[in-house]
Chain A
Amino acid sequence: MTTENTEIIEEHEEKIERKLVIPGEVIVTGDDYLPGDFTRKEGKEVVSNRFGLAEVSGRVVKIIPISGVFEPRRGNTVIGRVEDVTFNGWLIDIGGPYSSFLPLAECPRFINRNDIGEFATIGDVLSAKIWNVKKGGADLTLKSRGLGKLEGGRLIRINPHKVPRVIGKEGSMINLIKDATKTEITVGQNGYIWLKGDSEGEEKAENAINLIVEESTASGLTEKVEKFLGGNK
């Protein structure tokens, strides 16, 4: 859900003016405006709740946050690390203040109930999908294509709000990195990224991703990344 929204916004990048705001800052004043994502209304003023880019589209005012923790939403694909193994599932760290649980029943392959640590134990890395968000936590599932335990490679971590930038429009940016470094890359919506390839490729991909995160607001980002990937060959 989040990516789709952000991608649509990015397509209209040139048309809509965006302003950097901090929490408590008044974005617009007037009865005509309606508060959207991460904003609130105080009298006639629309006030920011988060640090991010504010934009006014029609009557609705909303903010695209550029810092803060990952907020799980249903349907997000995330990457997490197993924090604990219980009798009926795994406790997974997906970053931020939320704990998440992957029940045994949501695992599509056969697992011996008496030894579920055999499939995944503390420290293992999984990619999973969020199917339910509760107060203070999320429930995960592995019942979808491409989900499961991740073997080999390395895990890196970035600010979750930069994930749309790393993926790019319809995956353009991530495919660019994949092709140039010959590395397998899985990006979780929570900002955990799994890379697998040879050591040079992984390192280069990691540096490219860090470059995107650092320069995410710069114009001509794709060219910069292309230059970076080409220049290091």
Chain B
Amino acid sequence: MNLPNINKKRIISLLKDGKRLDGRKPFEYRDIEIETGISINAEGTSRVRIGKTEVIVGVKMSTQEPYTDHEDEGTMVTSMEFSQVAGERYESGPPQMDSIEIARVVDRGIRESRFIDWKKLCIKAGEKVWSIMIDIYCINDDGDVMDASAIGAVVALRLARFPKYDKENEAVLYGEFTDDPLPLTDHVPFTMTFHKIGESLLADPNRDEEDAADSRITLSVSSGKKEKMINAMQKGGIIGITIQEMEEIITQAEKVYDKVFEEVEKKTKNLIKSK
């Protein structure tokens, strides 16, 4: 269903008092659920639910020739697709604008944060490097798919294990896994999307709120050991964001990052150890 006018009016009037349709505060996230071991064939998988929004992420590894300007670095490809069951608005066919954008934002967040140590993905400089493929499938869309995808990608990468590699024949032995995790750093990247509806800002919108939004801005934040860094930004919508609003967004992004990081850490710690 597309957004009815009465719902938009109600969202705007409630936000003026700092309230939302489902009783949350403007920057409050819904419950985040994380599951792993979705696919036995993928090197790393995760299923992330934020409220009713649900995405499945898979990480596959293969080898390829490196790019000529980065001869000793691995490569990464991110793709995203909305399943037709995700919502009435999604049809089968080639990826549309929304899914291409999500894939690019997630990809850029991971790439620019230096979350993956590319040099350690090199098998033989100039000839063969590891290639990581991140596939994101949205199973249900109730808003904020971008943030769910980013969380899913990070969890899947953290859980991923190298497949066995036959050095003599230079071939990957699919289906057989080693215990070696991917070379990841502490700069864990998450994206935080903030939406502007009327004069108000909010995080983690549901479907109606996302449709009602005039513009949105996505911050890709990572934290090293000490301080947080903004690695990438993406803005959508036609309405501008003022300097004061941007400052508010950045302050909130830090808080949201801590909350999401804590949540993800709590839910994946045991999983990473046990694997």
What residues of chain A have their CB less than 8 Å away from a CB belonging to chain B?
A: 81, 83, 93, 95, 123-125, 150-155, 157, 192, 199, 203, 206
Contact = CB atoms under 8 A, between A and B. Distances in A.
A199 B4 CA distance: 17
Contact of A125 (B5, B21, B23): B5
A66 to B, nearest CB: 17
B10 to A, nearest CB: 5
A199 B19 contact: yes
B97 interface: no
Contacts of A123: 2-5, 8
Interface string B216-228: 0000000000000
Nearest to A79: B4
B1 A95 contact: yes
A123 B8 CA distance: 10
A152 B14 contact: no
Contacts of B243: none
B189 to A, nearest CB: 34
A206 B14 CA distance: 16
A133 B92 CA distance: 29
B22 interface: yes
Contacts of B7: 154-155
Interface string B1-39: 111111111100010000101110000000000000000
Contacts of A150: 6
Contact of A93 (B2, B8, B19, B22): B2
Nearest to A157: B1
A125 B2 contact: no
Interface size class of B (residues with CB under 8 A): 10 to 19
A125 B19 contact: no
B28 to A, nearest CB: 14
A192 B107 CA distance: 38
A154 B2 contact: no
Contacts of A83: 2
A12 B14 CA distance: 44
A157 B206 CA distance: 14
A90 to B, nearest CB: 14
A214 to B, nearest CB: 12
Nearest to B5: A123
Contacts of A157: 1
B14 A155 contact: no
A-B pairs, 10 with minimum CB distance:
A123-B5, A155-B4, A125-B4, A154-B10, A81-B4, A203-B23, A154-B7, A125-B6, A124-B5, A155-B7
A206 B21 CA distance: 10
Nearest to B2: A81
A153 B5 CA distance: 10
Nearest to B10: A154
Contacts of A192: 1
20 contacts: A81-B4, A83-B2, A123-B3, A123-B4, A123-B5, A123-B8, A124-B4, A124-B5, A125-B4, A150-B6, A152-B6, A152-B10, A154-B6, A154-B21, A155-B4, A155-B6, A155-B7, A203-B21, A203-B22, A206-B22
Contacts of A203: 21-23
Nearest to A95: B1
